[in-house]
Amino acid sequence: MCGIVGVVSTTPVNQLIYDALLLLQHRGQDAAGIVTQQGRKFFMHKAKGMVRDVFRTRNMRALPGSVGLGQVRYPTAGNAYSEEEAQPFYVNAPFGLVLVHNGNLTNAQTLRTELFQTDHRHTNTDSDSEVLLNVFAHELERATAGVPLRPENVFDAVRAVHKRIKGSYAVIAMIAGHGLLAFRDPHGIRPLAIGRSADGNVMVGSESVALEGTSHVFERNVEPGEAVFITLDGTVHAAQCAENPQLNPCIFEFVYLARPDSVLDGISVYQARLNLGEALAKRVVSTVPPSEIDVIIPIPESSRPSATQLAHLLGVPYREGFVKNRYVGRTFIMPGQGVRKKSVRQKLNVIASEFKGRNVLLVDDSIVRGTTSREIVQMARDAGARNVYLASAAPPVRYPNVYGIDMPTSSELVAHGRTVEEIRQAIGCDALIYQDVDGMKRAIGSLNKSIVGFDASCFDGTYVTGDITAEDIARLNEGRVGVEENEEDTSRLALPNAQDA
């Protein structure tokens, strides 16, 4: 995942974009970038690191203009350590284009070949976002050949992009001298919202919190397959550019990725997590009698709403047992399993009095690799807990994710190829309770009946784009340079009925 934002204004936007990126920092801490436009000239600064570290006063002064976009990056494809792969990406023709992208293209390798052999365009990095930019540039050049650019030409280019690329993509791009474009893949896997300020600024961003936190009023979501083109005077043009759009948002956004104060596709993330806690309560009761639980403790931060609701329904005291050091990066998005494991105890410290002599039910939003869970269970035991139970508000993560979340290899996933009892033994807890897939989908889907379904591929192995096989995942992993330093053998990939794929 990444966080992206774009603004069209009548006043300088550098500070506005910076503030929006701070609100989206949870979506990526690897790199950050901003590009602005003054006249027909782009001004860009990007580098590895968090927003507060990448941008200094001198950098902000070098970003003039009333139109711009930005991104915080979390690497899922390409090289996690490359400065060159920080976004935005730029090409000088046609017109001059810059682009930021949240998601993951599943046919990037095929597209690279097409770009070189057929479109005669060059890509210089391993990033699928650079591929996407060049595909769009090629199609925009075809759509505007010999004619002035109009919104209809831009939409024709997006229609052609939809036909060529596969995977997940929420995109914001600037066309020099013309305006800002935002579009979303036909399944709406990654979120994208649009809003307006009282003084007429138009902002597009990954989450509603980026709009509301910068004094913009959320207006609506960009629909699956839709393109929105905002001219330099703030006029908004929109068109559906996909043949068969269908809303299938990533369910992991609601489980973990998004901020709880965001609303994605009509669903409050906070309420979704409360509902997950309510559904989880039924699973807990069938495994551990509430009378055997002395206290319920969340594993910060995303699990708090679920843990609160769970404690309320079971009639068990809710306590905070872990204090989080907010100056250590999120372990989930750190490159390198060794770094991730080392950081757990730096990141969390126990309040020993909440554990000593008690039967403790720990609640987490999800369990991915199991490394963090194992460390936390041991921390609870070291603090004196008599029994340590662990409940996950999400089902077992059994399958690779190919749409922009850093869990693409089966060997990384503690639940892959294991029963719940085997996972419990690997983590070291006294009881392990998981949400079930259908319960998760009902809990979240009930908040917006217009959603046809979710991408829940990491839980159920069903890939909504319909084009993923075990061979595809293996190929995608070949391009992941530096995202994981200590991965195990990735050749033993498995999907449901993988032997038939």
Residue 195 to residue 204: CA distance in whole angstroms: 7
Contacts of 363 (CB under 8 A, 6+ apart): 277, 280, 296, 297, 298, 299, 303, 306, 307, 310, 390, 391, 392, 393
Residue 15 phi, psi (nearest 5): -70, -35
In single-letter form, the type of residue at position 374 comes to R
Per the structure block, which two tokens stand in for 54? 């990448």
Per the structure block, which two tokens stand in for 493? 């990939």
Instruction: Answer whether 342's CB lies under 8 Å from 486's CB.
Output: no
Residue 147 to residue 293: CA distance in whole angstroms: 71
Instruction: Answer whether 169's CB lies under 8 Å from 100's CB.
Output: no
Residue 227 to residue 77: CA distance in whole angstroms: 24
Q: Which helix (H) or strand (E) holds 152?
A: helix 151-164
CB burial readout 60-82, b (16+ within 10 A) else e: beebbbbbbbbbbbbbbbbbbeb
Residue 295 to residue 316: CA distance in whole angstroms: 6
Q: What radius of gyration, in Å, describes the C-alpha atoms of the chain?
A: 23
Q: Give the length of the chain.
A: 501
Per the structure block, which two tokens stand in for 419? 């029963």
Longest alpha-carbon distance in the chain: 78
* DSSP-assigned states of every residue in 221-276: EPPTTEEEEEETT--EEEEE--SS-----BHHIIIIIS-TT-EETTEEHHHHHHHH
Per the structure block, which two tokens stand in for 243? 């043949």
Residue 250 to residue 457: CA distance in whole angstroms: 9
Instruction: Enumerate the β-bridge partners of residue 361.
Output: 296, 389
Task: State the CB neighbour count (10 A cutoff) for residue 469.
Answer: 14
Active-site residue 241, yes or no? no
The helix/strand/coil state of 349 is strand
CA dihedral sign, ordered 332, 334, 336, 339: negative
Catalytic residue among 2, 250, 429, 458: 2
Instruction: Answer whether 410's CB lies under 8 Å from 494's CB.
Output: yes
Instruction: Answer whether 278's CB lies under 8 Å from 309's CB.
Output: yes
DSSP state at residue 93: S
Residue 489 to residue 482: CA distance in whole angstroms: 15
Catalytic residues: 2
